[in-house]
Structure 1
Protein backbone atom coordinates (compact mmCIF):
# COMPACT_ATOMS: atom_id res chain seq x y z
CA UNK A 1 0.00 0.00 0.00
CA UNK A 2 1.06 3.58 -0.63
CA UNK A 3 1.37 4.51 3.04
CA UNK A 4 4.05 1.86 3.55
CA UNK A 5 6.40 3.32 0.97
CA UNK A 6 9.73 4.01 2.67
CA UNK A 7 9.53 7.63 1.55
CA UNK A 8 6.46 7.95 3.81
CA UNK A 9 7.87 6.02 6.74
CA UNK A 10 6.77 8.62 9.31
CA UNK A 11 3.28 7.13 9.31
CA UNK A 12 4.77 3.64 9.46
CA UNK A 13 6.65 4.67 12.63
CA UNK A 14 3.42 5.94 14.17
CA UNK A 15 1.60 2.74 13.30
CA UNK A 16 4.50 0.65 14.61
CA UNK A 17 4.30 2.40 17.99
CA UNK A 18 0.51 2.00 18.13
CA UNK A 19 0.79 -1.75 17.44
CA UNK A 20 3.64 -2.36 19.89
CA UNK A 21 1.94 -0.37 22.64
CA UNK A 22 -1.32 -2.25 22.12
CA UNK A 23 0.59 -5.56 22.16
CA UNK A 24 2.44 -4.67 25.37
CA UNK A 25 -0.65 -3.48 27.26
CA UNK A 26 -3.09 -5.83 25.48
CA UNK A 27 -5.20 -2.74 24.77
CA UNK A 28 -4.81 0.88 23.69
CA UNK A 29 -7.15 3.81 24.21
CA UNK A 30 -8.43 6.09 21.49
CA UNK A 31 -6.71 8.99 23.26
CA UNK A 32 -3.34 7.20 23.18
CA UNK A 33 -3.74 6.51 19.46
CA UNK A 34 -4.46 10.18 18.74
CA UNK A 35 -1.45 11.21 20.86
CA UNK A 36 0.87 8.92 18.88
CA UNK A 37 -0.46 10.17 15.54
CA UNK A 38 0.03 13.75 16.73
CA UNK A 39 3.55 12.96 17.94
CA UNK A 40 4.55 11.92 14.43
CA UNK A 41 2.55 14.73 12.75
CA UNK A 42 0.18 12.12 11.26
CA UNK A 43 -3.04 13.49 12.72
CA UNK A 44 -4.57 14.05 9.28
CA UNK A 45 -8.24 13.03 8.82
CA UNK A 46 -7.40 10.67 5.94
CA UNK A 47 -4.80 8.82 8.05
CA UNK A 48 -7.03 8.70 11.12
CA UNK A 49 -9.80 7.15 9.01
CA UNK A 50 -7.42 4.46 7.80
CA UNK A 51 -6.28 3.59 11.32
CA UNK A 52 -9.83 3.39 12.68
CA UNK A 53 -11.12 1.65 9.53
CA UNK A 54 -13.63 4.43 8.81
CA UNK A 55 -12.68 5.10 5.20
CA UNK A 56 -15.56 4.59 2.77
CA UNK A 57 -13.19 2.87 0.36
CA UNK A 58 -12.59 -0.55 1.91
CA UNK A 59 -9.13 -1.09 0.40
CA UNK A 60 -7.75 2.10 1.95
CA UNK A 61 -8.36 0.98 5.55
CA UNK A 62 -5.80 -0.67 7.83
CA UNK A 63 -7.43 -3.48 9.75
CA UNK A 64 -4.90 -3.93 12.55
CA UNK A 65 -7.11 -2.68 15.39
CA UNK A 66 -10.44 -3.99 16.61
CA UNK A 67 -12.72 -1.90 18.78
CA UNK A 68 -13.33 -3.28 22.28
CA UNK A 69 -15.57 -0.49 23.56
CA UNK A 70 -16.17 3.23 22.97
CA UNK A 71 -12.72 4.23 24.25
CA UNK A 72 -10.31 1.33 23.66
CA UNK A 73 -8.96 -0.95 20.95
CA UNK A 74 -7.11 -4.25 20.78
CA UNK A 75 -4.98 -5.92 18.09
CA UNK A 76 -6.42 -8.23 15.47
CA UNK A 77 -3.16 -10.21 15.54
CA UNK A 78 -1.19 -11.34 18.58
CA UNK A 79 2.16 -9.97 17.49
CA UNK A 80 4.35 -6.91 17.73
CA UNK A 81 6.58 -5.32 15.07
CA UNK A 82 10.30 -5.91 15.45
CA UNK A 83 12.60 -3.01 14.51
CA UNK A 84 14.44 -3.19 11.22
CA UNK A 85 16.49 -0.93 8.98
CA UNK A 86 14.76 0.19 5.81
CA UNK A 87 16.55 0.81 2.51
CA UNK A 88 15.98 4.53 2.97
CA UNK A 89 17.62 4.43 6.40
CA UNK A 90 20.57 2.44 5.02
CA UNK A 91 20.95 5.03 2.27
CA UNK A 92 21.06 7.88 4.79
CA UNK A 93 23.37 6.02 7.19
CA UNK A 94 25.79 5.48 4.31
CA UNK A 95 25.52 9.16 3.43
CA UNK A 96 26.26 10.14 7.04
CA UNK A 97 29.59 8.34 6.78
CA UNK A 98 30.63 10.81 4.09
CA UNK A 99 30.40 13.63 6.65
CA UNK A 100 33.64 14.83 8.14
CA UNK A 101 31.84 15.00 11.48
CA UNK A 102 30.82 11.32 11.72
CA UNK A 103 33.72 10.48 14.03
CA UNK A 104 32.75 13.29 16.41
CA UNK A 105 29.52 11.58 17.44
CA UNK A 106 29.99 7.89 16.59
CA UNK A 107 32.59 5.47 17.88
CA UNK A 108 34.71 3.41 15.50
CA UNK A 109 32.74 0.21 16.19
CA UNK A 110 29.44 1.87 15.21
CA UNK A 111 30.97 3.38 12.09
CA UNK A 112 32.26 -0.03 10.98
CA UNK A 113 28.82 -1.61 11.51
CA UNK A 114 27.22 1.03 9.32
CA UNK A 115 29.81 0.59 6.59
CA UNK A 116 29.13 -3.17 6.53
CA UNK A 117 25.36 -2.74 6.03
CA UNK A 118 24.20 -4.31 2.78
CA UNK A 119 23.43 -1.69 0.20
CA UNK A 120 22.74 -3.62 -2.99
CA UNK A 121 20.18 -1.96 -5.28
CA UNK A 122 20.12 1.08 -2.99
CA UNK A 123 20.95 4.36 -4.79
CA UNK A 124 23.54 6.64 -3.22
CA UNK A 125 22.83 10.27 -2.37
CA UNK A 126 24.53 12.87 -4.51
CA UNK A 127 26.38 14.96 -1.92
CA UNK A 128 26.69 17.86 -4.37
CA UNK A 129 22.93 18.38 -4.07
CA UNK A 130 22.85 18.47 -0.27
CA UNK A 131 26.17 19.53 1.26
CA UNK A 132 26.30 23.32 1.74
CA UNK A 133 28.83 25.23 -0.31
CA UNK A 134 28.60 28.75 1.12
CA UNK A 135 31.23 28.21 3.81
CA UNK A 136 32.68 31.08 5.79
CA UNK A 137 35.40 32.96 3.94
CA UNK A 138 36.75 34.33 7.22
CA UNK A 139 37.50 31.07 9.00
CA UNK A 140 39.32 28.06 7.69
CA UNK A 141 37.39 24.79 8.11
CA UNK A 142 39.29 22.73 10.62
CA UNK A 143 39.83 19.00 10.27
CA UNK A 144 37.15 17.17 12.28
CA UNK A 145 39.78 15.05 14.04
CA UNK A 146 41.40 18.23 15.36
CA UNK A 147 38.21 19.38 17.09
CA UNK A 148 37.16 15.93 18.31
CA UNK A 149 38.88 16.24 21.71
CA UNK A 150 37.43 19.74 22.22
CA UNK A 151 33.93 18.56 21.32
CA UNK A 152 34.08 15.65 23.77
CA UNK A 153 35.29 17.92 26.58
CA UNK A 154 32.49 20.41 25.89
CA UNK A 155 29.82 17.68 25.77
CA UNK A 156 31.03 16.26 29.08
CA UNK A 157 31.05 19.77 30.53
CA UNK A 158 27.42 20.30 29.46
CA UNK A 159 26.28 16.97 30.92
CA UNK A 160 28.16 17.34 34.22
CA UNK A 161 28.05 21.16 34.63
CA UNK A 162 31.84 21.31 34.65
CA UNK A 163 33.80 24.56 34.69
CA UNK A 164 36.11 24.96 31.69
CA UNK A 165 39.12 27.25 31.34
CA UNK A 166 40.18 28.19 27.83
CA UNK A 167 41.83 30.70 25.53
CA UNK A 168 39.68 32.14 22.74
CA UNK A 169 40.50 34.02 19.54
CA UNK A 170 37.63 36.25 18.42
CA UNK A 171 36.59 36.91 14.82
CA UNK A 172 38.24 40.33 15.14
CA UNK A 173 41.56 38.68 15.98
CA UNK A 174 41.60 39.52 19.71
CA UNK A 175 42.87 36.81 22.08
CA UNK A 176 41.14 36.22 25.41
CA UNK A 177 43.36 34.20 27.73
CA UNK A 178 42.35 31.98 30.65
CA UNK A 179 38.61 32.60 30.34
CA UNK A 180 36.39 30.45 32.56
CA UNK A 181 32.85 29.34 31.88
CA UNK A 182 30.26 26.56 32.02
CA UNK A 183 29.23 25.21 28.58
CA UNK A 184 25.45 25.41 28.08
CA UNK A 185 24.79 24.06 24.58
CA UNK A 186 26.34 23.30 21.19
CA UNK A 187 24.94 24.82 18.00
CA UNK A 188 25.70 23.88 14.40
CA UNK A 189 25.59 26.45 11.60
CA UNK A 190 24.53 24.93 8.29
CA UNK A 191 25.55 28.16 6.59
CA UNK A 192 29.17 28.07 7.77
CA UNK A 193 29.43 24.30 8.42
CA UNK A 194 30.79 25.04 11.89
CA UNK A 195 30.05 24.25 15.52
CA UNK A 196 29.50 26.91 18.16
CA UNK A 197 29.58 26.57 21.95
CA UNK A 198 27.55 28.81 24.24
CA UNK A 199 29.29 29.39 27.58
CA UNK A 200 28.07 30.95 30.78
CA UNK A 201 30.95 33.32 31.57
CA UNK A 202 31.96 33.26 35.22
CA UNK A 203 33.86 36.56 34.93
CA UNK A 204 31.05 38.52 33.32
CA UNK A 205 28.01 36.63 34.57
CA UNK A 206 26.45 36.37 31.09
CA UNK A 207 26.50 34.16 28.00
CA UNK A 208 29.16 34.07 25.31
CA UNK A 209 29.02 32.30 21.93
CA UNK A 210 32.31 30.81 20.74
CA UNK A 211 33.43 29.05 17.56
CA UNK A 212 34.70 25.69 18.77
CA UNK A 213 37.71 25.63 16.44
CA UNK A 214 38.92 28.93 17.95
CA UNK A 215 39.07 27.46 21.47
CA UNK A 216 42.58 26.64 22.65
CA UNK A 217 44.10 25.16 25.83
CA UNK A 218 40.69 23.83 26.82
CA UNK A 219 40.72 22.13 30.24
CA UNK A 220 38.56 21.44 33.29
CA UNK A 221 39.36 23.82 36.11
CA UNK A 222 37.59 24.50 39.39
CA UNK A 223 39.98 27.37 40.08
CA UNK A 224 39.32 29.42 43.20
CA UNK A 225 35.55 29.33 42.67
CA UNK A 226 33.15 27.83 45.15
CA UNK A 227 31.50 25.26 42.89
CA UNK A 228 28.18 25.24 44.75
CA UNK A 229 27.91 29.04 44.59
CA UNK A 230 28.87 29.09 40.90
CA UNK A 231 26.29 26.46 39.95
CA UNK A 232 23.59 28.23 41.96
CA UNK A 233 24.40 31.53 40.25
CA UNK A 234 24.46 29.77 36.87
CA UNK A 235 21.10 28.07 37.44
CA UNK A 236 19.48 31.34 38.49
CA UNK A 237 20.86 33.21 35.49
CA UNK A 238 19.73 30.45 33.14
CA UNK A 239 16.26 30.44 34.70
CA UNK A 240 15.93 34.22 34.48
CA UNK A 241 17.16 34.24 30.87
CA UNK A 242 14.43 31.87 29.70
CA UNK A 243 11.96 33.70 27.49
CA UNK A 244 8.62 34.10 29.24
CA UNK A 245 6.71 32.69 26.27
CA UNK A 246 7.71 30.62 23.24
CA UNK A 247 7.82 31.93 19.70
CA UNK A 248 4.81 30.49 17.89
CA UNK A 249 5.16 29.93 14.16
CA UNK A 250 2.68 28.69 11.60
CA UNK A 251 4.44 26.88 8.77
CA UNK A 252 2.85 26.52 5.35
CA UNK A 253 4.31 23.29 4.05
CA UNK A 254 5.28 24.44 0.55
CA UNK A 255 8.78 24.21 -0.97
CA UNK A 256 9.82 21.89 1.89
CA UNK A 257 9.27 24.70 4.39
CA UNK A 258 8.41 22.32 7.24
CA UNK A 259 11.58 20.27 6.80
CA UNK A 260 13.66 23.44 6.54
CA UNK A 261 12.04 24.83 9.69
CA UNK A 262 12.85 21.69 11.70
CA UNK A 263 16.39 21.79 10.35
CA UNK A 264 16.87 25.49 11.16
CA UNK A 265 15.60 25.08 14.73
CA UNK A 266 17.10 21.65 15.45
CA UNK A 267 19.23 23.00 18.32
CA UNK A 268 16.24 24.56 20.14
CA UNK A 269 13.66 22.99 22.41
CA UNK A 270 10.41 22.92 20.48
CA UNK A 271 7.04 21.28 19.99
CA UNK A 272 4.85 20.98 16.90
CA UNK A 273 1.31 20.03 15.95
CA UNK A 274 -0.85 19.99 12.83
CA UNK A 275 -3.67 22.54 12.61
CA UNK A 276 -6.41 20.79 10.66
CA UNK A 277 -8.61 23.86 10.25
CA UNK A 278 -5.77 25.87 8.66
CA UNK A 279 -3.89 23.00 6.97
CA UNK A 280 -0.71 24.31 8.55
CA UNK A 281 1.79 23.15 11.15
CA UNK A 282 2.27 25.09 14.35
CA UNK A 283 5.76 25.16 15.83
CA UNK A 284 6.55 26.48 19.31
CA UNK A 285 10.19 27.39 19.94
CA UNK A 286 11.42 27.71 23.53
CA UNK A 287 14.53 29.82 23.86
CA UNK A 288 16.75 32.05 25.98
CA UNK A 289 16.56 35.81 25.55
CA UNK A 290 20.18 35.99 24.35
CA UNK A 291 19.20 33.75 21.39
CA UNK A 292 16.49 36.11 20.12
CA UNK A 293 18.57 37.75 17.36
CA UNK A 294 19.68 34.34 16.09
CA UNK A 295 16.10 33.03 15.96
CA UNK A 296 14.85 36.11 14.09
CA UNK A 297 17.60 35.62 11.52
CA UNK A 298 16.51 32.00 10.99
CA UNK A 299 12.84 32.95 10.70
CA UNK A 300 13.68 35.49 7.99
CA UNK A 301 15.62 32.78 6.15
CA UNK A 302 12.42 30.70 5.87
CA UNK A 303 10.66 33.55 4.07
CA UNK A 304 6.94 33.85 3.34
CA UNK A 305 6.20 30.21 4.15
CA UNK A 306 6.31 31.03 7.88
CA UNK A 307 4.02 33.33 9.86
CA UNK A 308 4.97 34.55 13.34
CA UNK A 309 1.86 34.34 15.51
CA UNK A 310 3.34 35.29 18.89
CA UNK A 311 4.84 37.10 20.73
CA UNK A 312 4.04 40.55 19.39
CA UNK A 313 7.52 42.04 19.90
CA UNK A 314 9.03 39.33 17.66
CA UNK A 315 6.40 40.09 14.99
CA UNK A 316 7.30 43.79 15.25
CA UNK A 317 11.02 43.10 14.86
CA UNK A 318 10.38 40.88 11.82
CA UNK A 319 8.18 43.56 10.21
CA UNK A 320 10.81 46.23 10.95
CA UNK A 321 13.58 44.14 9.36
CA UNK A 322 11.50 43.48 6.24
CA UNK A 323 10.56 47.18 5.89
CA UNK A 324 14.21 48.24 6.22
CA UNK A 325 15.21 45.69 3.60
CA UNK A 326 12.51 46.88 1.19
CA UNK A 327 13.54 50.50 1.73
CA UNK A 328 17.19 49.65 1.12
CA UNK A 329 16.42 47.76 -2.09
CA UNK A 330 14.14 50.56 -3.25
CA UNK A 331 16.92 53.13 -2.81
CA UNK A 332 19.29 50.85 -4.70
CA UNK A 333 16.73 50.59 -7.53
CA UNK A 334 16.81 46.82 -7.38
CA UNK A 335 13.75 45.14 -8.85
Structure 2
Protein backbone atom coordinates (compact mmCIF):
# COMPACT_ATOMS: atom_id res chain seq x y z
CA UNK A 1 0.00 0.00 0.00
CA UNK A 2 1.29 3.44 -0.91
CA UNK A 3 1.74 5.33 2.41
CA UNK A 4 1.05 8.64 0.67
CA UNK A 5 -2.46 7.66 -0.43
CA UNK A 6 -5.69 7.20 1.48
CA UNK A 7 -6.67 3.73 2.63
CA UNK A 8 -8.87 2.11 -0.04
CA UNK A 9 -9.30 -1.31 1.57
CA UNK A 10 -13.06 -1.70 1.94
CA UNK A 11 -12.93 -3.85 5.07
CA UNK A 12 -10.68 -1.37 6.88
CA UNK A 13 -12.81 1.57 5.75
CA UNK A 14 -16.07 -0.05 6.87
CA UNK A 15 -14.64 -0.70 10.36
CA UNK A 16 -13.48 2.90 10.62
CA UNK A 17 -16.90 4.19 9.57
CA UNK A 18 -18.55 2.05 12.25
CA UNK A 19 -16.31 3.66 14.86
CA UNK A 20 -16.99 7.19 13.60
CA UNK A 21 -13.51 7.76 12.11
CA UNK A 22 -13.25 9.81 8.89
CA UNK A 23 -10.05 9.92 6.83
CA UNK A 24 -9.01 12.91 4.74
CA UNK A 25 -5.86 13.86 2.89
CA UNK A 26 -4.10 17.23 3.19
CA UNK A 27 -5.08 17.89 -0.43
CA UNK A 28 -8.77 17.39 0.39
CA UNK A 29 -8.52 19.71 3.40
CA UNK A 30 -6.80 22.38 1.30
CA UNK A 31 -9.50 22.04 -1.36
CA UNK A 32 -12.25 22.40 1.28
CA UNK A 33 -10.60 25.52 2.70
CA UNK A 34 -10.52 27.03 -0.79
CA UNK A 35 -14.21 26.17 -1.36
CA UNK A 36 -15.23 27.78 1.94
CA UNK A 37 -14.02 31.10 0.51
CA UNK A 38 -16.62 30.87 -2.26
CA UNK A 39 -19.53 33.33 -1.78
CA UNK A 40 -22.10 30.50 -1.84
CA UNK A 41 -20.54 28.83 1.24
CA UNK A 42 -22.31 31.30 3.54
CA UNK A 43 -25.67 30.17 2.11
CA UNK A 44 -24.81 26.47 1.97
CA UNK A 45 -23.84 26.15 5.66
CA UNK A 46 -25.32 27.50 8.85
CA UNK A 47 -23.16 30.03 10.69
CA UNK A 48 -22.22 27.52 13.42
CA UNK A 49 -21.18 24.83 10.91
CA UNK A 50 -19.22 27.28 8.77
CA UNK A 51 -17.34 28.63 11.80
CA UNK A 52 -16.54 25.08 12.97
CA UNK A 53 -15.16 24.06 9.57
CA UNK A 54 -13.05 27.20 9.31
CA UNK A 55 -11.67 26.59 12.82
CA UNK A 56 -10.74 22.99 11.99
CA UNK A 57 -8.94 24.15 8.82
CA UNK A 58 -7.02 27.05 10.35
CA UNK A 59 -3.70 25.24 10.09
CA UNK A 60 -4.21 24.21 6.44
CA UNK A 61 -2.90 26.18 3.49
CA UNK A 62 -5.58 26.87 0.86
CA UNK A 63 -5.19 25.08 -2.45
CA UNK A 64 -3.29 27.29 -4.89
CA UNK A 65 -4.74 26.94 -8.37
CA UNK A 66 -3.34 30.12 -9.90
CA UNK A 67 -0.30 28.42 -11.46
CA UNK A 68 -1.99 25.14 -12.33
CA UNK A 69 -5.17 26.19 -14.15
CA UNK A 70 -5.81 28.55 -17.03
CA UNK A 71 -9.39 29.81 -17.20
CA UNK A 72 -10.45 30.12 -20.83
CA UNK A 73 -13.89 30.55 -22.38
CA UNK A 74 -16.40 28.59 -20.29
CA UNK A 75 -20.07 27.76 -20.30
CA UNK A 76 -22.52 29.53 -18.03
CA UNK A 77 -21.89 28.59 -14.41
CA UNK A 78 -24.41 26.18 -12.92
CA UNK A 79 -25.04 26.78 -9.23
CA UNK A 80 -24.86 23.37 -7.59
CA UNK A 81 -26.25 24.66 -4.31
CA UNK A 82 -29.94 25.61 -4.23
CA UNK A 83 -31.20 28.09 -1.61
CA UNK A 84 -34.09 25.79 -0.64
CA UNK A 85 -31.81 22.87 0.23
CA UNK A 86 -31.07 24.02 3.77
CA UNK A 87 -34.73 24.83 4.50
CA UNK A 88 -35.95 21.45 3.27
CA UNK A 89 -33.12 19.56 4.97
CA UNK A 90 -34.15 21.08 8.31
CA UNK A 91 -37.78 20.07 7.73
CA UNK A 92 -36.70 16.50 6.92
CA UNK A 93 -34.53 16.26 10.03
CA UNK A 94 -37.28 17.59 12.31
CA UNK A 95 -40.06 15.56 10.63
CA UNK A 96 -42.05 18.71 9.89
CA UNK A 97 -44.78 19.11 7.29
CA UNK A 98 -44.29 21.65 4.49
CA UNK A 99 -46.45 23.75 2.21
CA UNK A 100 -44.98 24.43 -1.22
CA UNK A 101 -45.97 26.86 -3.95
CA UNK A 102 -45.36 25.51 -7.44
CA UNK A 103 -44.12 27.82 -10.18
CA UNK A 104 -46.21 28.66 -13.24
CA UNK A 105 -46.90 25.90 -15.77
CA UNK A 106 -47.91 27.01 -19.28
CA UNK A 107 -48.42 30.50 -17.92
CA UNK A 108 -50.70 29.41 -15.07
CA UNK A 109 -49.50 29.28 -11.44
CA UNK A 110 -49.58 25.85 -9.89
CA UNK A 111 -51.65 25.10 -6.78
CA UNK A 112 -50.20 25.15 -3.29
CA UNK A 113 -49.70 21.70 -1.81
CA UNK A 114 -48.89 20.41 1.65
CA UNK A 115 -47.11 17.21 2.56
CA UNK A 116 -44.19 15.52 4.31
CA UNK A 117 -40.66 15.79 2.82
CA UNK A 118 -38.72 12.54 2.67
CA UNK A 119 -35.38 13.05 0.90
CA UNK A 120 -33.34 15.43 -1.24
CA UNK A 121 -31.55 14.07 -4.30
CA UNK A 122 -29.14 15.66 -6.76
CA UNK A 123 -29.06 14.49 -10.39
CA UNK A 124 -25.50 14.50 -11.75
CA UNK A 125 -26.90 14.18 -15.27
CA UNK A 126 -29.40 17.06 -15.18
CA UNK A 127 -27.39 18.96 -12.57
CA UNK A 128 -30.34 19.93 -10.44
CA UNK A 129 -31.95 19.11 -7.09
CA UNK A 130 -35.10 17.03 -6.56
CA UNK A 131 -37.37 16.71 -3.54
CA UNK A 132 -38.97 13.35 -2.78
CA UNK A 133 -42.07 13.89 -0.66
CA UNK A 134 -45.57 12.65 0.10
CA UNK A 135 -48.24 15.12 -0.92
CA UNK A 136 -51.19 15.16 1.47
CA UNK A 137 -53.06 17.19 -1.14
CA UNK A 138 -52.72 14.54 -3.87
CA UNK A 139 -52.26 11.58 -1.54
CA UNK A 140 -49.29 10.34 -3.54
CA UNK A 141 -45.51 9.97 -3.25
CA UNK A 142 -43.94 12.44 -5.66
CA UNK A 143 -40.69 13.87 -7.00
CA UNK A 144 -40.41 17.56 -7.83
CA UNK A 145 -37.56 19.71 -9.13
CA UNK A 146 -36.54 22.40 -6.66
CA UNK A 147 -36.39 25.00 -9.40
CA UNK A 148 -40.15 24.50 -9.86
CA UNK A 149 -40.80 25.47 -6.23
CA UNK A 150 -41.26 29.20 -5.68
CA UNK A 151 -41.62 29.10 -1.89
CA UNK A 152 -41.62 26.68 1.04
CA UNK A 153 -42.86 27.08 4.60
CA UNK A 154 -43.16 24.63 7.48
CA UNK A 155 -46.65 23.69 8.63
CA UNK A 156 -47.54 22.01 11.94
CA UNK A 157 -48.42 18.34 11.64
CA UNK A 158 -49.81 16.00 14.27
CA UNK A 159 -47.31 13.28 15.32
CA UNK A 160 -49.82 10.60 14.37
CA UNK A 161 -50.16 12.03 10.83
CA UNK A 162 -46.36 12.10 10.47
CA UNK A 163 -46.07 8.46 11.59
CA UNK A 164 -48.79 7.21 9.25
CA UNK A 165 -47.30 9.18 6.34
CA UNK A 166 -43.82 7.79 6.98
CA UNK A 167 -45.25 4.27 7.09
CA UNK A 168 -47.02 4.88 3.77
CA UNK A 169 -43.81 6.22 2.18
CA UNK A 170 -41.88 3.14 3.32
CA UNK A 171 -44.64 0.87 1.98
CA UNK A 172 -44.54 2.57 -1.43
CA UNK A 173 -40.74 2.48 -1.62
CA UNK A 174 -40.65 -1.18 -0.57
CA UNK A 175 -43.12 -2.07 -3.33
CA UNK A 176 -40.86 -0.36 -5.88
CA UNK A 177 -37.63 -1.80 -4.51
CA UNK A 178 -35.48 -4.03 -6.71
CA UNK A 179 -32.27 -5.87 -5.90
CA UNK A 180 -29.34 -7.42 -7.71
CA UNK A 181 -26.06 -9.10 -6.83
CA UNK A 182 -22.97 -7.96 -8.70
CA UNK A 183 -19.75 -9.95 -8.72
CA UNK A 184 -16.39 -8.16 -8.88
CA UNK A 185 -14.05 -10.33 -10.92
CA UNK A 186 -10.98 -11.19 -8.77
CA UNK A 187 -8.51 -9.64 -11.24
CA UNK A 188 -10.07 -6.25 -10.42
CA UNK A 189 -10.26 -6.50 -6.63
CA UNK A 190 -7.79 -3.63 -6.37
CA UNK A 191 -10.37 -1.40 -8.08
CA UNK A 192 -13.09 -2.13 -5.53
CA UNK A 193 -13.21 1.48 -4.31
CA UNK A 194 -13.73 2.74 -7.86
CA UNK A 195 -16.48 0.17 -8.44
CA UNK A 196 -18.24 1.05 -5.17
CA UNK A 197 -18.00 4.74 -6.05
CA UNK A 198 -19.91 4.03 -9.28
CA UNK A 199 -22.80 2.72 -7.14
CA UNK A 200 -22.38 5.28 -4.35
CA UNK A 201 -25.92 6.67 -4.74
CA UNK A 202 -27.53 3.27 -4.03
CA UNK A 203 -28.05 1.28 -0.86
CA UNK A 204 -25.67 -1.68 -0.93
CA UNK A 205 -24.00 -4.42 1.07
CA UNK A 206 -20.59 -5.94 0.35
CA UNK A 207 -19.65 -9.55 1.04
CA UNK A 208 -16.21 -11.11 0.60
CA UNK A 209 -15.77 -14.82 -0.22
CA UNK A 210 -12.29 -15.79 1.00
CA UNK A 211 -12.30 -19.17 -0.77
CA UNK A 212 -12.94 -17.56 -4.17
CA UNK A 213 -11.16 -14.25 -3.36
CA UNK A 214 -14.27 -12.53 -4.71
CA UNK A 215 -16.35 -9.54 -3.63
CA UNK A 216 -20.14 -9.59 -4.08
CA UNK A 217 -22.15 -6.35 -4.01
CA UNK A 218 -25.83 -6.63 -3.10
CA UNK A 219 -27.43 -3.58 -4.70
CA UNK A 220 -30.86 -2.15 -3.83
CA UNK A 221 -32.58 0.37 -6.10
CA UNK A 222 -36.02 1.59 -7.18
CA UNK A 223 -37.64 0.18 -10.29
CA UNK A 224 -37.28 3.38 -12.31
CA UNK A 225 -33.52 3.42 -11.62
CA UNK A 226 -32.80 0.16 -13.45
CA UNK A 227 -31.53 1.80 -16.63
CA UNK A 228 -29.16 3.95 -14.60
CA UNK A 229 -27.76 0.82 -12.92
CA UNK A 230 -27.23 -0.67 -16.40
CA UNK A 231 -25.35 2.43 -17.53
CA UNK A 232 -22.98 1.99 -14.57
CA UNK A 233 -22.50 -1.70 -15.42
CA UNK A 234 -21.58 -0.79 -19.00
CA UNK A 235 -19.18 1.86 -17.72
CA UNK A 236 -17.39 -0.69 -15.50
CA UNK A 237 -17.22 -3.19 -18.36
CA UNK A 238 -15.45 -6.50 -17.75
CA UNK A 239 -14.68 -5.65 -14.11
CA UNK A 240 -18.14 -6.75 -12.94
CA UNK A 241 -20.80 -9.34 -13.71
CA UNK A 242 -24.47 -9.59 -12.75
CA UNK A 243 -25.04 -12.88 -10.94
CA UNK A 244 -28.54 -12.20 -9.57
CA UNK A 245 -31.24 -9.96 -11.04
CA UNK A 246 -33.16 -11.41 -13.97
CA UNK A 247 -34.34 -8.06 -15.36
CA UNK A 248 -30.83 -6.58 -15.37
CA UNK A 249 -29.41 -9.72 -17.00
CA UNK A 250 -32.07 -9.61 -19.71
CA UNK A 251 -31.51 -5.92 -20.48
CA UNK A 252 -27.72 -6.41 -20.54
CA UNK A 253 -28.08 -9.26 -23.05
CA UNK A 254 -30.37 -7.15 -25.22
CA UNK A 255 -28.00 -4.19 -25.29
CA UNK A 256 -25.02 -6.48 -26.00
CA UNK A 257 -26.81 -8.14 -28.93
CA UNK A 258 -27.80 -4.74 -30.36
CA UNK A 259 -24.18 -3.58 -30.13
CA UNK A 260 -22.97 -6.73 -31.94
CA UNK A 261 -25.63 -6.33 -34.65
CA UNK A 262 -24.59 -2.73 -35.19
CA UNK A 263 -21.09 -3.92 -36.16
CA UNK A 264 -22.29 -6.92 -38.15
CA UNK A 265 -21.04 -9.50 -35.64
CA UNK A 266 -22.72 -12.37 -33.83
CA UNK A 267 -22.15 -13.90 -30.38
CA UNK A 268 -20.75 -17.09 -31.98
CA UNK A 269 -18.19 -15.10 -33.98
CA UNK A 270 -17.13 -13.20 -30.87
CA UNK A 271 -16.64 -16.39 -28.85
CA UNK A 272 -14.65 -17.98 -31.71
CA UNK A 273 -12.28 -15.01 -31.86
CA UNK A 274 -11.74 -15.06 -28.09
CA UNK A 275 -10.92 -18.79 -28.16
Q: Which residue does 1:262 correspond to in 2?
A: 196
1:109: Cα distance to partner?
A: 1.0
Which residue matches 1:108?
Answer: 50
CA distance in 1 between partners of 2:237 and 2:102 (Å): 35
Determine if the alignment matches structure 1 residue 118 to structure 2 residue 60: yes
CA-to-partner distance for each residue in 1:29-76, whole Å, 9 max, x for gaps? xxxxxxx658359xxxxxxxxxxxxxxxxxxxxxxxxxxxxxxxxxxx
Alignment partner, residue 268 of structure 2: none
Change (3 A) 1:258 1:245: same
8 Å Cα contact 2:121/2:130 also seen in 1: yes
Q: Is 2:249 the partner of 1:312?
A: no
C-alpha contact 2:178 2:223 (8 A) present in aligned 1: no
Deviation for aligned residue 1:274: 3.2
The 3 A distance-change label for structure 1 pair 9 and 316 is: same
One of 207, 225, 233 as aligned partner of 1:273:
207
The residue that corresponds to 1:49 in the other structure is none
Going from structure 1 to structure 2, the CA distance change for 1:290 and 1:163 (only over 3 Å counts) comes to: farther
Corresponding residue SS for 1:96:
helix
After the TM superposition, which residues 234-253 of structure 1 pair with which residues of structure 2 at under 5 Å, given as runs?
234-242=166-174, 246-252=179-185
Deviations 1:51-108 (A, max 9, x none): xxxxxxxxxxxxxxxxxxxxxxxxxxxxxxxx8x98x622112223444675525722
In structure 2, relative to structure 1, the CA distance for the partners of 1:309 and 1:255 (3 Å cut) is closer
| Change beyond 3 A, Cα 1:207–1:236 | closer
Q: 5+ unaligned residues in a row in structure 1: which ranges?
A: 15-35, 42-82, 129-133
Partner of 1:89: 25
Residue 259 to residue 324, structure 1, CA distance change in 2 (3 Å)? same
Q: 1:283 aligns with which of 207, 211, 217?
A: 217
Report how many residues are paired: 248
Residue 98 of structure 2 contacts residue 154 of structure 2 at CA under 8 Å; is this kept in 1?
yes
SS for the counterpart of 1:186 is: strand
Residue 241 of structure 1 deviates from its aligned partner by 2.5
Which string of whole-angstrom CA distances, capped at 9 and with x for unpartnered residues, describes residues 158-217 of structure 1? 223322222345999986431333222222333444333222233444433333344320
2:141 counterpart (189, 207, 212): 207
Root-mean-square deviation (Å)? 4.4
1:142 aligns with 2:79: yes
Supply the distance in 2 between the matched residues of 1:311 and 1:91 (Cα, whole angstroms): 40
**Deviation, structure 1 residue 118:** 3.4
3-state secondary structure, aligned to 1:228: helix
Q: 1:210 to 1:157 in 2, by over 3 A?
A: same
Distance (Å, rounded) in 1 between the aligned partners of 2:5 and 2:95: 40
